[in-house]
Amino acid sequence: MALQYLQFRPGVSRESTNLANSGGFYACQWARFRSGSPEKINGWSLPSTNTFLGECRDLIEWESLNSNYIVGVGTNLKFYLYIGGLYFNITPIRLSSNLAANPFYPIYSTLSAGISATATTISVTSGTSFAYVYPYVVRIGSEDIYVTSAAGTTLSGCIRGYNGTTAATHSISSVVSSAYLVVASATNNAYVGDYVTFSGATTFGPYSTAVLNAEYIVASQTTNYITVYTGIQSTSATNGGGSAPVVAKYQIHIGQAIDTFGNGWGIGPWGTGLGWGTPYPVSVDTQEMRIWSSAVFGQNLVYNIKKGGVYYWDASTKLTPSGQVTSPGVDITSLPGTDGQAPNVAARVFVTEERHIVVLGANDPYAAAPTAQDPLLIRWCSQEDPLTWTPAVTNTAGSQRLVYGSALITAEITRQETLIWSDTAVYSMRYLGPPYTFGFNTISNEITIASPNCVATANNITYWMGNSKFYVYSGRVDTLPCALRQYVFNDFNFVQSNQVYAGTNEKYNEVWWFYPSADSDYNNRYVIYNYLEKLWYYGDIDRTAWLDSHIQGTPWATYNGMLVQHESGTDDGSVNPPAAIPAYIESADFDIGEGDKFSAVKRVIPDVDFIGSTTTTPSVTMTVSTRNFPGQGLFLNDTPTNISGSKVTTQVYDYTNQVFVRLRGRQVAFRIGSDGAGIKWQLGTPRLDIQPDGIKS
């Protein structure tokens, strides 16, 4: 007999077969390595139970001069500032319009003739507000009906029994009402799904002042009308809202949550159609997902939509000492005192240490088409002056057009330089001072980059994900050796690569990448590189953005409309009560002896600690499995404790000294994991009690 130590190489590798990786780890979930030993990753909690709208693709943090901690949250629908547990909407206003008197028109009438349960054309006695704009939903009795078109007093293309109601016959003079209001709003240029806020309206009918003076989603739209869903059924056809100016403030157009190509299911009412409180499908002028970029300029914020405008939020005038946001940001071209040359379009924005606002992919005001985007043009304002963009001998404003690639993608500020990526090259941008301000050098023109947010810097070394591999820059560009390259890129949704988000976790010397697997339209996986120990590991999780622990001490991330604080506790604290995080790590096969003879495993001597656990009786599940040939399955159909056969699964506690088992085979694999709440574990060096057991083939 002999006690065989299970000493595995740290890190997880999937670049070879299971047996070829003998002596290492082959699979994991929510496990990391610390000092070469695997352990369960910490949990996460909610800093606030409040939520935001949309998919977040940009996070930034800073402190105002009055010590308010602020997190900027950019989603496909809005841009928020998170302060003191609350989300303040600072999405810029696209249009502020004074509406005509009594601009709200209820959708209300009666049937001019009875209808069957299958009729798709409906006639009403008076159609004043029915034909202004559509589609919308009406109610007759207890049935909801989706109306796709209207002309005069005729409603056509009706979808019966909508919203889960039952289609029924209805008699003449039955009331036709709706929870949608038509709003007369001339030249609104709205998109379906846009957000509009009304103010100055007065009570009429069943609609209170509080109901009318609120934010709404544009449910349908024409040149001079929109519909909004109030949740309150109309009681008459009389319009109202008051004769004093009702102001409609339209936020900038919403963006898409993912990259989409072509049309199909989901475009009409069969997809995300008009349900109670649900906007009609979004109609946008681009198929690209919305990605914000943002940077702090002193205590103020500069933020930009990829291929959209550049906006400026001034904390000195828009933030109270108590942390209340009073108004949104404005287009940088409209700042009082601007020289008229500020960029009206950009792909990315950042601020240098010398306090220059720099925009990538800006418009060239001196070109033949001065407002058109030049995807390779860089522009910057004069130092510490967001109002001055016209270059002159008396300022440091300027521009530079780069050469390689078709568009500029992103930038990363490092200790001595700023790195700028096009789709095929990476450049170094360094501050020179007047008269040239910045100098640019090509570092490499043979790279790829997965997304604007796939770059992270740790210890002044920059890492990023390309289209089929990882890169590292430490003075020169190199391919970053990756033990999980096949695992990541052979199961990757390249259509949604713009969602890839990278971030650092400096406490554990890690760079994280969140990405979508081939069968997912959203980020559902992560891969981690431990740059101190040069190790890789991976797992499954839904995260759309990441922010390291520069101010708060722990990283923050976003998913499902929530900010979550990582490295907090042991469990998933985004739900109440917190849920257990199922974590495990599994070794590759390793031979018992020379692998040519059978051996018997008699005993397992665990070595695991539970430091950091919060439950009184923490435990892990240890599984030892044998097989005779590499082609046989391992770790399939996990069952409760089984002390004989080709697989043994047993619970191990902090007081467990040994576990007697009965296993026979040529190769062995080992797995440790937990699925209980309040558990934290780290694996040491367990041992197996092994003896020869013949050579039978």
CATH number at residue 553: 2.120.10.80
What pLDDT score was predicted for residue 496?
97
Residue corresponding to tokens 């009906």: 145
Tokens at 523, concatenated: 């980020």
Comparing 549 with 321, the larger pLDDT belongs to: 321
Reduce the secondary structure of 379-406 to three states and give it as a string. EECECCECCCCCCCCCCCCEEEECCCCC
What pLDDT score was predicted for residue 262?
59
Its domain, for residue 240, covers 97-251
Between CA 564 and CA 52 the distance in angstroms is 12
What pLDDT score was predicted for residue 550?
79
Between CA 512 and CA 557 the distance in angstroms is 11
CA atoms within 13 A on the CB side of 432: 13
**Nearest one of 182, 138, 170 to 156, comparing CA atoms:** 138
C-alpha of 270 from chain center: 26
Residue 595: pLDDT band (50, 70, 90) is low
Residue 353: pLDDT band (50, 70, 90) is very high
What value does the mean pLDDT of the chain take?
Answer: 92
What pLDDT score was predicted for residue 593?
62
Over range 297-323, report the average pLDDT. 97
Between CA 28 and CA 14 the distance in angstroms is 11
Strand stretches in 260-381, DSSP E? 292-297, 300-305, 310-313, 330-331, 348-351, 357-360, 377-380
* Helical residues (DSSP H) of 232-359, grouped into ranges: 315-318
CA atoms within 13 A on the CB side of 568: 19
Domain annotation covers residue 611: yes
Asked if 202 and 164 count as a contact pair (C-beta separation under 8 A), the reply is: no
Looking at the structure, tell me whether residues 16 and 136 fall in a common domain.
no
Domain annotation covers residue 633: yes
Measured at the alpha carbon of residue 627, what is the angle toward residues 622 and 633, in degrees to the nearest 5? 80
Domain annotation covers residue 88: no
Tokens at 436, concatenated: 């040239």
Q: Which of 251, 268, 299 is the last residue of a domain?
A: 251
Residues paired with residue 358 on neighbouring β-strands, in sequence order: 350, 380
Between CA 625 and CA 609 the distance in angstroms is 22
What pLDDT score was predicted for residue 668?
87
pLDDT digit string (tens) for 568-583? 999 999 999 999 999 9
Looking at the structure, tell me whether residues 554 and 684 fall in a common domain.
no
Tokens at 354, concatenated: 């010398």
Between CA 40 and CA 505 the distance in angstroms is 15
Domain annotation covers residue 276: no
- Collapsing DSSP to helix, strand or coil, 317 comes out as helix
What pLDDT score was predicted for residue 596?
62
Looking at the structure, tell me whether residues 115 and 217 fall in a common domain.
yes
Domain annotation covers residue 490: yes
Looking at the structure, tell me whether residues 103 and 227 fall in a common domain.
yes
Residue 292: phi and psi, rounded to 5, are -90, 155
pLDDT of 271 strictly over 60: no
What pLDDT score was predicted for residue 388?
98
Looking at the structure, tell me whether residues 551 and 640 fall in a common domain.
no
Looking at the structure, tell me whether residues 563 and 665 fall in a common domain.
no
Looking at the structure, tell me whether residues 467 and 556 fall in a common domain.
yes
Domain annotation covers residue 416: no
What pLDDT score was predicted for residue 135?
97
Looking at the structure, tell me whether residues 461 and 537 fall in a common domain.
yes
pLDDT digit string (tens) for 389-448? 999 999 999 999 999 999 999 999 999 899 999 999 999 999 999 999 999 999 999 999
Over range 623-632, report the average pLDDT. 74
Comparing 590 with 531, the larger pLDDT belongs to: 531
Q: Which of 251, 283, 317 is the last residue of a domain?
A: 251
Tokens at 690, concatenated: 């092994």
Domain annotation covers residue 556: yes
Looking at the structure, tell me whether residues 175 and 200 fall in a common domain.
yes
DSSP category for residue 100 = P
Residue corresponding to tokens 């240490």: 353
Tokens at 477, concatenated: 């560009």
- Collapsing DSSP to helix, strand or coil, 629 comes out as coil
Q: Residue 139 sits in a domain of what CATH number?
A: 2.40.30.20
Q: Which of 251, 272, 305 is the last residue of a domain?
A: 251
Comparing 303 with 689, the larger pLDDT belongs to: 303
For the chain, what is the domain count? 3
pLDDT of 110 strictly over 50: yes
Q: Residue 601 sits in a domain of what CATH number?
A: 2.60.120
Residue 469 CB neighbour total at 10 angstroms: 15
Domain annotation covers residue 12: yes
Over range 125-137, report the average pLDDT. 94
What pLDDT score was predicted for residue 127?
86
Looking at the structure, tell me whether residues 221 and 159 fall in a common domain.
yes
Looking at the structure, tell me whether residues 681 and 632 fall in a common domain.
yes
Residue 315: phi and psi, rounded to 5, are -65, -30
Lowest mean pLDDT among 13-17, 261-265, 325-329, 568-572: 261-265
Between CA 137 and CA 146 the distance in angstroms is 5
Over range 65-75, report the average pLDDT. 96
Measured at the alpha carbon of residue 285, what is the angle toward residues 282 and 288, in degrees to the nearest 5? 85
pLDDT of 639 strictly over 50: no
What pLDDT score was predicted for residue 573?
96
DSSP category for residue 376 = T
Looking at the structure, tell me whether residues 196 and 126 fall in a common domain.
yes
- Collapsing DSSP to helix, strand or coil, 306 comes out as coil
